Structure 1
């Protein structure tokens, strides 16, 4: 487990990173990448959207282009204060301070869930993904952006020591274990040579259990 896959250390890290976050973020996750990811979700004007790990509000700003019903959750008050300055405390966005692994919402509370730049700090990613599935309406989608695992050995050792980096196979495993279906992965990159992001879009199974039945039928055919 990386040094920042610890909630108290991550909060301390962001206490200082929040001061410069909006200036350095575009080098690894810029507006073009965010907007490409947003298009994958097909957000409708009346959708109620949750932004988990909302930070300074970079993704929140993009979500507001699609719907006025945006809710943002983060564990770092220092990051949230930067977002308050952009949107007000409860004017355009409803803010919550909380934990991705224990979301303070009822089942099926949201139509869409977005999370970017947060999964790499979760000690138990599958627990958080199960929470995502719980709070999103059956049949609807979530999108999670995290850091793609480096291809070369030295960078892999560094990545493992810092926080969670993962590839498509690991992303598939985590989302399947959390109970999602129709899982797809997209690799995004600001420029050649810069860190890559892995963007995963997945769907919460239908409430009638039809997805599980379909999956079972498919497995039977393949066998």
Structure 2
């Protein structure tokens, strides 16, 4: 388990990263990638969407272009303060502080769950994915963006010492173990690093 797959350390890390996150993020996860990923989902106007690990609200802004019913959750209040500055604290997005492994929502609450840049910090990814399946409606979609596993073996060892990196086979295993169907993967990245992110979309059973 990497050093940042620890909730306390991750919160401390984001306390400082939040100061520069919106300046750094476009080099790793930009608007074009965000829109391509959102296009993998069947979001209809009025759908209730949850953004887990919403951070500074970058993905939240894109989701709001598809539906007005967006909820954002993050464990870092420092990250959410940046989102509040952009979007307001209560309207149009309903924000909550919480844990991906223990979502503060009722069963079958959402049509879609989105999470980008968060899974790499989860100590127990399958537990979180099962929790997503609990709160998404039957047949609802879940999309997770995470860091693609480096091909170089030394880079893999360094990456794994920091946080979770994985490939499509590992994503298949995690989503299947969590009980999802229709699992689809797509690699994305900016021009200088075209395969830096792995995007997985899946459906909860009907």
Using structure 1 for the length normalisation, give the TM-score. 0.91
Contact 2:168 2:198 in 1 (8 A): yes
Q: Give 1:192 deviation, angstroms.
A: 3.5
2:139 is paired with a residue whose SS is: coil
Residue aligning to 1:10 = 10
Matches within 5 A, 1:9-158: 9-158=9-158
SS at 1:51 equivalent: strand
Answer yes or no: is the 8 Å Cα contact 2:52–2:113 preserved in 1.
Answer: yes
CA contact (8 A) 2:148 2:166 kept: yes
Q: Would you say the 8 A contact 2:186–2:198 is kept in 1? A: yes
Match of 2:189 in 1: 189
Q: How far off its partner does 1:157 sit? A: 1.3
- The structure-2 alpha-carbon separation of the partners of 1:195 and 1:134, relative to structure 1 and needing over 3 Å to count, comes to same
SS in 2 for 1:50: strand
The CA distance in 1 between the partners of 2:195 and 2:169, in whole Å, is 18
What residue is the counterpart of 1:203 in the other structure?
203
Q: CA RMSD in A?
A: 0.8
Q: Which one has a bigger Cα radius of gyration?
A: 1
Equivalent residue number for residue 217 of structure 1: none
Contact 2:101 2:128 (8 Å CA) reproduced: yes
- Does the 8 A contact of 1:27 with 1:194 survive in 2? no
Deviations 1:112-157 (A, max 9, x none): 0000000000000000000000000001111000000000122111
Aligned residues of 1:189 and 1:197 also touching (Cα < 8 A): yes
SS of the residue 2:43 aligns to? coil
Which runs of at least 4 in structure 1 moved beyond 6 Å after TM superposition? Answer: none
TM-score computed with the length of structure 2 as normaliser:
0.98
- Residues 28 and 195, structure 1, Cα contact 8 Å, conserved in 2: no
SS in structure 2 at match of 1:140: strand
Structure 1, unmatched stretches of 5+, are 207-223
Contact 2:18 2:78 in 1 (8 A): yes
Show structure 2 runs of 5+ residues with no match.
Answer: none
